[in-house]
Amino acid sequence: MKKADLVSLFFSGVMAFSLLIPNFMSYKTSRIAFGDPISAHDCFGSMIGVLYLWVAAFIILAFIKQKRHPLNLFTGLFAAVSLAVFLRAVSLSFESGAFDAGGNARMSFGFGFLLVVISLYSIMVKCVECTDGIILKTLIPIVALALVVFFLARGEFNNYSVMREYQTAEKQFMTHLWEHVSISVWVLIAAVIIGVPMGYMCYKHKVFDAVTLIGLSVTEVLPMLALFAIIRMPYIFLREHVPLLKEMGLGGYGAAPAFTALLLYALYLIIHNARAAFSTVDYTLIENARAMGMTPRDVIMRVEIPIALPVILSGIRITMISAIVGATLASYIGAGGLGTYIVNGINSLSIDLQLLGVIPIFFLTVIADAVIRLLAYFLLPMPGRWKISHDFFEKYF
């Protein structure tokens, strides 16, 4: 007897449950008004039966597909298309005439709606995991993203409350997005340039290892907001005593202290990960390389780094996601970024404004994860891809 895909089956059941709960969406007459719960039946009316058939299709697919089965690709694409069409259908239901769509009225996400979106995303992730081939794996999220962007560009999501907030802050949004991306990327670049060599030094020298990791572990103990506050102090002192820094605009507020705090967090992750990566290298391989006449530089570039690279890239991926999430708090010390909307939303009691910051940050982490995974696919010295990695190190090192 075939074993059902329990993950897809569970989330299909969650979707069926979400269509029954009363708080599927929330209708609000203004930005800060308390929302009135709306059920899925209120949103879709007589078309609710189609949604139950749609959920039943996912349940059937969960029963008949197995790991590495071609149906995983079909199910993943079905979930990707369903996600985009579902978002469009819920938004357009606001114009059906059952709701007053005038003035500041808006539809906010309800618990049931979020359950459906999370379930479809989880089914997509499971299907990507069970699909063979990097091209087919990336096809599923690309289809979902392309359809969502297409509907977004056509203005078919404009009835959502978060889109109303975006329309209000449209001029500043791209600036905050760029601030968020730039500080995250620069933190990652600096952490890799500084952290990987330091991780190698920790691997080679035990005293250096103890001193470095004990010092950096302090940053892991401190909450990030507390570290931001501490980092501000030397910047304030230097601004008062170094006129050049004052002329450059560096001080206790802005990107400089935020960058420094995020870099300290990132360095701990990169150094710790790089040290662990180089520790996985079998010493016998190093001895064999030396016996073949390789110089110390050749041993590092052609033996140690290629073997340690998978773990190093995994650490870079984790660090990048950590930097994107951590940059959210940079707005507390005037560094801008998407965290500005979250802070302003908390202060004004507007969940919609908070979502304007949360949703792009989520997509940034997903995109960053996918980009680094693709980079790892083409660089890692694994069966079938050794030539790419070998040629890379031969050419540049």
The DSSP result for 244-279, as a single string, is HHHHHT-SSSSHHHHHHHHHHHHHHHHHHHHHHHHH
Among 98, 129, 161, identify where a domain stops.
Answer: 161
Q: Tell me: do 130 and 188 sit in the same domain.
A: no
Q: Tell me: do 145 and 181 sit in the same domain.
A: no
pLDDT tens sequence across 7-30: 888 999 999 999 888 888 887 776
pLDDT of residue 102: 58
Q: Tell me: do 115 and 136 sit in the same domain.
A: yes
CA dist., res. 145 & res. 81, Å (int): 9
Cβ atoms 26, 36 nearer than 8 A: yes
Number of domains in the chain: 2
Please give the mean pLDDT across all residues of the chain.
82
CATH label of the domain that carries residue 186: 1.10.3720.10
CA dist., res. 349 & res. 357, Å (int): 14
Among 90-99, 167-176, 207-216, name the most confident range: 167-176
For range 216-221, the mean pLDDT: 76
Q: How confident is the model at residue 250 (pLDDT cuts 50, 70, 90)?
A: low
pTM as predicted: 0.81
CA dist., res. 335 & res. 343, Å (int): 12
Domain of residue 319, residue span:
170-396
Residue 191: inside a domain: yes
Q: How confident is the model at residue 352 (pLDDT cuts 50, 70, 90)?
A: confident
Q: Tell me: do 157 and 174 sit in the same domain.
A: no
The alpha carbon dihedral of 321, 326, 328, 330 has a sign of negative
pLDDT of residue 283: 82
Residue 76: inside a domain: yes
pLDDT tens sequence across 171-214: 888 889 998 999 999 999 999 999 999 988 888 888 888 888 77
Q: How confident is the model at residue 390 (pLDDT cuts 50, 70, 90)?
A: very low
pLDDT of residue 185: 93
CA dist., res. 338 & res. 318, Å (int): 20
**325 vs 214, which has greater pLDDT?**
325
Over its C-alpha atoms, the chain yields an Rg (Å, rounded) of 25
CA dist., res. 212 & res. 181, Å (int): 28
Q: Tell me: do 19 and 91 sit in the same domain.
A: yes
Q: Tell me: do 285 and 148 sit in the same domain.
A: no
CA dist., res. 263 & res. 343, Å (int): 22
Residue 102: inside a domain: yes
pLDDT of residue 388: 43
For range 132-160, the mean pLDDT: 86
Residue 242: inside a domain: yes
Cβ atoms 41, 48 nearer than 8 A: yes
pLDDT tens sequence across 359-370: 899 889 988 888
Residue 142: inside a domain: yes
Q: Three-class SS of residue 26?
A: strand
Q: What is the percent of the chain with per-residue pLDDT over 70, rounded to a whole number?
A: 87
CA dist., res. 272 & res. 276, Å (int): 6
Q: Tell me: do 342 and 195 sit in the same domain.
A: yes
Residue 55: inside a domain: yes
For residue 115, pLDDT beyond 90: yes
Among 161, 194, 226, identify where a domain stops.
Answer: 161
pLDDT of residue 192: 93
pLDDT of residue 212: 82
For range 246-274, the mean pLDDT: 80
Q: Is 258 exposed, middle or buried (0-12, 13-18, 19+ CB in 10 A)?
A: buried
Q: Tell me: do 244 and 381 sit in the same domain.
A: yes
Q: Tell me: do 156 and 175 sit in the same domain.
A: no
For residue 386, pLDDT beyond 50: no
Q: How confident is the model at residue 288 (pLDDT cuts 50, 70, 90)?
A: confident
pLDDT of residue 245: 64
pLDDT tens sequence across 29-80: 766 667 778 888 888 878 888 889 999 999 998 888 766 667 888 999 999 9
Residue 1: inside a domain: no
For the chain, helix (H) and strand (E) counts, in that order, are 18, 3
Residue 71: inside a domain: yes
For residue 2, pLDDT beyond 60: no
Among 143, 161, 179, identify where a domain stops.
Answer: 161
Q: Tell me: do 70 and 49 sit in the same domain.
A: yes
Q: Tell me: do 110 and 245 sit in the same domain.
A: no
Q: Three-class SS of residue 38?
A: strand
pLDDT of residue 70: 79
For residue 346, pLDDT beyond 90: no
Any idea what DSSP says for residue 195?
A: H
Lowest mean pLDDT among 176-180, 231-235, 327-331: 231-235
pLDDT of residue 184: 92
Q: Tell me: do 179 and 142 sit in the same domain.
A: no
pLDDT of residue 170: 82
